[in-house]
């Protein structure tokens, strides 16, 4: 049944993606940041149709923390490939994420990743530097940056893996607030390391109160990272016990 469901979800994803491809290509030709805003509106509308059709309803909590006109660095846990459609569904307004540069070389996918992501080659120091500059430009345009500070999917039994510094350096250098965000149940749908298959499940996306960085300096990076890590870890643990 897991394989049958996975085939159904995959076929529906590919067919709906082909429908969305032309309008997404058209909006990609618009100037920034209008292209990002229109692109994410289309992506969100797509996911609002697709996720219920694959029996994975997305429920959000804490959207009231987003202030109009304020871009946030959205720091999110990472458990599954399903995290991407779930956050596309849930995040209000325009946003970009950080993605591997090689993904933009894949036909069809290239349109989505070039507009919806800041691309980086993690093995290239110059590419990492350029991506950091681009993320600052994204925030200055009033667009959110979605970052997964664990770096890769969490395959452990712990609520979180240790965080990298990048999101917190970006927050302090731009003086933008961090929006801690916790995803629940995406691993239950599609787990890393298992054979081909998936199963439907409700997804919860909880936005936590933002953490202000105004007035912070580089010396505050370790404390800021620890504070956000502890906030998210404790929230996940508390939710598990409910």
- Write the CB contacts of 130 (distance below 8 Å, at least 6 apart in sequence): 120
pLDDT given at position 112: 84
For residue 23, what is the domain's CATH number?
A: 3.40.1130.10
Residue 120 zone, left/alpha/beta (φ > 0; ψ -120 to 50; rest): beta
pLDDT given at position 110: 79
Of the candidates 231, 114, 211, which has an alpha carbon nearest to the alpha carbon of residue 171? 211
pLDDT given at position 240: 79
Distance CA 111, CA 216 (A): 37
Domain that holds residue 12: 2-241
User: Tens digit of pLDDT for each residue in 101-145?
Assistant: 877 777 777 788 889 999 998 888 898 899 999 999 999 999 999
Residue 216: phi, psi to the nearest 5?
Answer: -75, 155
User: Tens digit of pLDDT for each residue in 3-52?
Assistant: 999 999 999 999 999 999 999 999 999 999 999 999 999 999 999 999 99
pLDDT given at position 40: 95
Task: Say whether pLDDT at 151 is over 80.
Answer: yes
User: Tens digit of pLDDT for each residue in 211-236?
Assistant: 999 999 999 999 999 999 999 999 99
pLDDT given at position 241: 64
pLDDT given at position 242: 60
User: Do residues 16 and 46 touch, judged by C-beta distance below 8 A?
Assistant: yes
Share of the chain above pLDDT 70, in %: 98
pTM greater than 0.85: yes
The predicted model gives 150-156 an average pLDDT of: 92
User: Do residues 205 and 87 touch, judged by C-beta distance below 8 A?
Assistant: yes
Of the candidates 206, 144, 219, 153, which has an alpha carbon nearest to the alpha carbon of residue 178? 144
Residue with the larger pLDDT of the pair 44 and 240: 44
Give the number of other CB atoms < 10 A from CB of residue 145.
25
Query: In which band, very low, low, confident or very high, does the pLDDT at 100 lie, cut at 50, 70 and 90?
Result: confident
Query: In which band, very low, low, confident or very high, does the pLDDT at 195 lie, cut at 50, 70 and 90?
Result: confident
Give the number of other CB atoms < 10 A from CB of residue 232.
22
Instruction: Domain count for the chain, please give it.
Output: 1
pLDDT given at position 38: 96
Mean pLDDT of the chain: 93
Structure tokens at 181: 């965000």
Distance CA 105, CA 85 (A): 20
Distance CA 155, CA 177 (A): 28
Angle between helices 2-28 and 34-53 (to 10 degrees): 160
Distance CA 108, CA 232 (A): 35
pLDDT given at position 106: 75
The predicted model gives 143-170 an average pLDDT of: 95
Task: Say whether pLDDT at 193 is over 80.
Answer: no
């Amino acid at each position: 049944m897991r394989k049958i469901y996975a085939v159904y979800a995959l076929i529906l994803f590919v067919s709906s993606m082909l429908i969305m491809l032309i309008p997404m290509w058209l909006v990609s030709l618009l100037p920034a940041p209008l292209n990002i805003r229109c692109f994410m509106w289309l992506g969100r509308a797509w996911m609002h149709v697709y996720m219920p059709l694959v029996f994975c309803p997305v429920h959000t909590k804490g959207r009231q923390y987003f202030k109009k006109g304020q871009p946030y660095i959205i720091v999110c846990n990472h458990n599954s490939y399903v995290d991407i459609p779930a956050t596309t569904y849930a995040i209000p307004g325009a946003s970009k994420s950080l993605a591997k540069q090689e993904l933009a070389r894949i036909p069809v996918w290239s349109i989505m990743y070039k507009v919806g992501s800041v691309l980086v080659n993690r093995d290239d120091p110059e590419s990492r530097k350029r991506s950091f500059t681009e993320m600052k430009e994204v925030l200055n345009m009033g667009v959110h940056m979605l970052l997964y500070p664990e770096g890769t999917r969490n395959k452990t039994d712990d609520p979180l893996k240790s965080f990298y510094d990048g999101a917190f350096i970006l927050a302090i250098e731009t003086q933008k607030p961090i929006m801690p965000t916790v995803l629940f149940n995406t691993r239950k749908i599609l787990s890393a390391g298992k054979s081909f298959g998936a199963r439907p499940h409700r997804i919860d996306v909880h936005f936590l109160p933002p953490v202000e960085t105004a007035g912070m300096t580089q010396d505050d990076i370790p404390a800021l990272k620890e504070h956000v890590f502890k906030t998210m870890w404790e929230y996940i643990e508390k939710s598990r016990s409910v």
